[in-house]
Amino acid sequence: MRFARVKLAFRNYSTTASSAPVRVRFAPSPTGQLHLGGLRTALYNYLLARKTNGQFLLRIEDTDQTRYVPGAVEKLMASLSWAGIVPDEGPEIGGPHSPYYQSERTQLYLDRANQLIKDGHAYRCFCSTERLSSIREQRKQQGHVLAYDKHCSHLTGKQIQSHLESRVPFTVRHNVPLEGSTTMEDLVHGRVQFQHHVLDDTILLKSDGFPTYHLANVVDDHAMGITHVLRGEEWLPSTPKHLLLYKAFGWTAPVFGHLPLLLNENRAKLSKRSGHVHVEHYIDQGYLPEAVNNFVALLGWHPGQSQEEIMDMNDLVRLFDLNHLHRAAAVVDPMKLGWINKQHLLRRAESPDGLASLVDDLAPLVQQRLDKSASSQYLGQVISTVKDRIRVLKDIPDLCSYFFVPPDYTRPEAETLKRKLKQNVWQLVVEDPDTVLKPMQQLSFEEPGSIKDWIHTLSEDHGVKANHLMMVLRYIMTGTSVGAGVADTMHVLGKPICTSRLQNFVKSENK
């Protein structure tokens, strides 16, 4: 598809709180899991609706029954709910424009297709699959645009009637004019011009009676009063076809904005086949919804003069402005997402309610894999202790399992670490355990500070460096060389567990 950007300036569209309320929609196909690009489209439409006190609709475009995946709609709605993107109208909620499944609106599309045929803007195509393949191959060899040759647009009324009486299968094609051009003002790309002679006579109604996207989305957007369409850049070449349909029906077209492509770290187009592009992947990995929303929002938009980078949904609504959408393709950087998630995790952990919500998210991750009896209070202590050292909640059961189960000293990593510990400190703890064990049993574990003071006193009394003693104690308590402070970790574990781990470790080493 060839088109020209006549003017590169953005359309100046104000999205202040006093702007006229918009009606926008997210209209996915139930062909698989919700991916990051789909989430971004849904989010931008949702933000625009909330910014202008408008309405956000969810519509399921399930007219391609060959690609329908059972359960996809339920998973899609669950992902949107997780992200906090709740529609004002849709399949479960209902609304004045129901049904919101396109497969239940086929009569409307048929009526509109017949209207287009009557007015000369569409025609029935009776061409066989073999003829269509032959046309494509011929045009390909000639180096022409792979478009239909308009053969059936020239059939006489008598020929059409004969085919209908013979029950010859047919599709309905858009009768695109050969001359002229269509110009549009895109919210992202500015003024874009399309020459009609490069447009195909797209199929509007398939032989099974179901519409294609091109007809259904135009008919439904008009019927549902959609004022703005924000969608992926891949739909930009199809927009002149849609605008011609609006013109044929005598309807006012919505305002369009085509969002930039998403690229992977190698700057190749993000593949939907990659598991890491699906929202469910990030849910399973323990990312926070506000962090994923924050990250996705920045893939094609910026908050203007605001220096804010960490934003929750309220912040995004407050700052969202269509004038700050950009054309450049956006790179999906997992490292940046991890950093953003960490900032949101820290922000949540600062308040009692936020910490409680983190505990609710962490509990199933721990209870399924490590410790079914872990209390909410204990989980809250663990989060508060390690929050500066994790990117996602899943890091806690993955990297900090020692808070719930004894460390495994037989792991190769643990054996390697053991050889790096200072021998004199090792001997102090393992060969003369009462030197450490007896004062530990008398120690108060109420505050990390008292444990830290005890470690420093013990190191001074026995002429060893405090950091070397901490390394040995960390190894015994956790089996690792990194993590939160030793005193903080021992405080959370508590005296009984710390005492037990030291005793059991000494026994195993002295066998």
- Domain regions of the chain by residue span: 275-340, 352-403, 412-509
List the 122-125 sheet strands across, edge first: 122-125, 171-174, 203-205
Second CATH level (architecture) for the domain 352-403: Orthogonal Bundle (1.10)
pLDDT at 13 over 60: no
Task: Give me the pLDDT at residue 18, please.
Answer: 46
pLDDT, one tens digit per residue, over 206-230 is 999 999 999 999 999 999 999 999 9
Please state, in angstroms and as integers, the Cα–Cα distance from residue 212 to each residue in 63, 66, 118, 413, 453, following that order: 7, 12, 19, 57, 73
Look at 2-16, 325-339, 446-460 and tell me which has the smallest mean pLDDT: 2-16
Q: Which of 231, 234, 225 is nearest to 256 (CA)?
A: 231
Mean pLDDT, residues 97-103 taken together: 96
Per CATH, which fold does 275-340 belong to? Glutamyl-tRNA Synthetase; domain 2 (1.10.1160)
- Of 1.25.40.90, 3.40.1710.10, 1.10.10.350, 3.40.50.720, the CATH number of 412-509 is 1.10.10.350
Mean pLDDT to the nearest integer, 353-379: 91
Lowest mean pLDDT among 42-46, 289-293, 333-337, 468-472: 468-472
What pLDDT score was predicted for residue 15?
55
Q: Which of 4-18, 56-70, 331-345 has the lowest mean pLDDT?
A: 4-18
- Predicted confidence band at 65 (pLDDT cuts at 50, 70, 90)? confident
The confidence score (pLDDT) of residue 186 equals 96
pLDDT tier at 274 (50, 70, 90 boundaries)?
low
- What is the spatial distance between Cα 403 and Cα 497, in angstroms, rounded to a whole number? 10
Q: Which of 75, 272, 394, 422 is catalytic?
A: 272
CA 291 to chain centre: 10
Out of 104-113, 187-196, 478-487, pick the least confident. 478-487
Q: How confident is the model at residue 4 (pLDDT cuts 50, 70, 90)?
A: low
Q: How confident is the model at residue 7 (pLDDT cuts 50, 70, 90)?
A: very low
Residues 136-143 have a mean pLDDT of: 83
Mean pLDDT, residues 483-500 taken together: 93
Q: How big is the chain, counted in residues?
A: 511
- Tokens 């710390």 correspond to 498
Judge whether residue 2 has pLDDT over 60.
Answer: no
User: What digits encode the pLDDT tens for the residues 147-196?
Assistant: 899 999 999 999 999 999 999 999 999 999 999 999 999 999 999 999 99
Residues 102-106: what's their mean pLDDT?
A: 96
Q: What is the pTM of this model?
A: 0.89
Reported as a single tens digit per residue, the pLDDT across 26-41 is 999 999 899 999 999 9
Please tell me the distance from the alpha carbon of residue 89 to that of residue 101, in angstroms, as a whole number: 12
Using CA atoms, how far apart are residues 330 and 508, in angstroms rounded to an integer? 55
Give me the sign of the Cα torsion angle 317, 318, 323, 327: negative
Q: Evaluate if residue 45 carries a pLDDT over 90.
A: yes
pLDDT at 1 over 50: no
Q: Is residue 418 annotated as a catalytic residue, yes or no?
A: no
Distance set, CA 469 to CA 400, 466, 509 (Å): 21, 5, 17
More confident call, 85 vs 4: 85
Higher pLDDT, 503 or 427: 503
Residue 5 has pLDDT above 70, yes or no: no
pLDDT of residue 434: 85
- Measured over the CA atoms of residue 215, residue 217, residue 222 and residue 227, the dihedral's sign is negative
Number of other residues whose CB lies within 10 A of the CB of residue 293: 24
- b/e sequence 449-468, b meaning 16+ C-beta within 10 Å: eebbebbeebbeeeebebeb
For position 189, what pLDDT does the model report?
94
What is the percentage of the chain residues whose pLDDT exceeds 90?
Answer: 70
- pLDDT at residue 402 is higher than 60: yes
User: What's the mean per-residue pLDDT of the chain?
Assistant: 91
Q: Is the pLDDT of residue 258 over 50?
A: yes
489 touches 478 (CB < 8 A): yes
CA 47/CA 81 separation, integer angstroms? 15
User: 3-state SS string over 430-451?
Assistant: HCCCHHHHHHHHHCCCCCHHHH
